Amino acid sequence: MSRCTKAYIYKENLRNNILQIKSLLSENTKICLAVKADGYGHNAVLAAKIAQECGVSSLAIATVDEGIELRKNGIELQLLLLSLCTPGEMDELFEYNITPLVFSKEYINCINEAAKKIKLQNKFEVHLAIDTGMGRIGCYPQEAGKQARLIEDSGNLHLGGMATHFALSDSLSSNAQKFTKQQYEAFCLAVENVKKEGINPGICSCANSAAILNNPEMHFDMIRAGIIAYGYYPDEITRKYLKSKGKNILLKPVMSFETEVVAIRRFPKGKTVSYGCTWKTSKETDIAVLPVGYADGLLRRFSPGLLVTINGKKYPVVGRICMDQCMVDIGKDNPDVKLWDKVLIFGPEESGALTTADDLAKLGNTISYEVLTSLSKRVVRYIKE
């Protein structure tokens, strides 16, 4: 028997979102879908299989282990490793055909030496990361030609592409948009510096979810879709804003997070609930107990304020969320809530949820990305066909 606290992945919603993204692109622009962090908490293998069906060309991952899992589940698309790996992981890059981002002389030489030991028949493809303002990994634009030359002259490596990442593209402030434009221009300079070395820069990409929606001039050869594939708009680039720009892009949340009522208890006036005794009943009421807590991803900071959906109505979570349980005030003698009723924490409209991961994110002063990726492994994901 399966635990009642679970998540459902709405397969057709993911397909819808990928097709919505495609509608914004020119015919020759490729899609790289981010499936890192277990597909933003949605099950990376499932997301990857749907991506293959929808004509996506590449998948973005963050760790070598994520790539191995995909390969062992029959995923044949290019896997682009966005984070760095250690020398102990490099043999698996070749074994599982994972394309790394590189940028420094030391890192390039390290991968080249690892490739030499493997004695590959063909040169191994790498992509050059450019730091245009994110301040994470990447060489500076003025160094791009030199680093590309190092790759091409290494003996075992081949430059297959270039990439950078935007830091502020999801903000509509004039300063943020100015900064994004500066990043884009710096990336263009890096690409030109590689070409001046007589080297083909390969597949170039810089547009993240926000730039995909808001900056079509920045799509280059390939876009890298993240949160929008899973049904959420990036910060200020909302559906309302896009409609004002003549873009009717309908993204549908892909995941629902649900549980069941496992107990209903009558509490008198003045009874405290949960750790710290932070909430007290103002009158006699009934409290529903739910078997879900912060160890599942229902973060402690969501209460007070969190509303869950039971049979089409919203009810407040009261007191502190515990590791494995939380409590909901359903009111005295409520005929609409019964033992074992389904409780929806967030999800798409078709799941019956009245809240989304965005709503929870606002409560926790965070972003939908964190809410989605916080769901733990003990919350089993099921496919909703």
181 counts as catalytic: no
Tokens of 160: 């297959």
- Paired with 241 in beta bridges are none
* 6, 30, 36, 252: the active-site residue: 36
Q: What's the CA gap between 99 and 78, in Å, rounded?
A: 7
- Helices (H) then strands (E): counts for the chain: 12, 19
pTM, 2 dp: 0.93
Residue 83 to residue 356: CA distance in whole angstroms? 29
How many other β-carbons are positioned within 10 Å of the β-carbon of residue 142? 11
The type of residue at 34 is A
* pLDDT for 2: 86
Q: What are the residue ranges in the chain where pLDDT is below 70? A: 1
pLDDT given for residue 385 in this prediction: 80
What are the Cα distances from residue 351, in Å, to 11, 260, 274? 12, 14, 29
Say whether 36 is catalytic.
yes
Q: Which two tokens stand for residue 379?
A: 């919350």
**Could you write out the DSSP letters of every residue in 186-252?**
HHHHHHHHHHHTT----EEE---HHHHHH-GGG-TTEEEE-GGGGT---TT--HHHHHHTT------
Q: Which of 243, 275, 280, 338 is catalytic?
A: 275
pLDDT of residue 1: 62
Q: Considering all CA atoms of the chain, what is the largest pairwise distance in Å, rounded to the nearest integer?
A: 79
The CB-based long-range contact list for 72-75 (8 Å cut-off, 24+ gap) reads 73/45, 73/48, 73/49, 74/49, 75/45, 75/48, 75/49
Query: Residues 6 or more apart from 58 whose CB is under 8 A from it?
Result: 30, 31, 32, 33, 77, 78, 79, 80, 222
End-to-end CA distance of the chain: 21
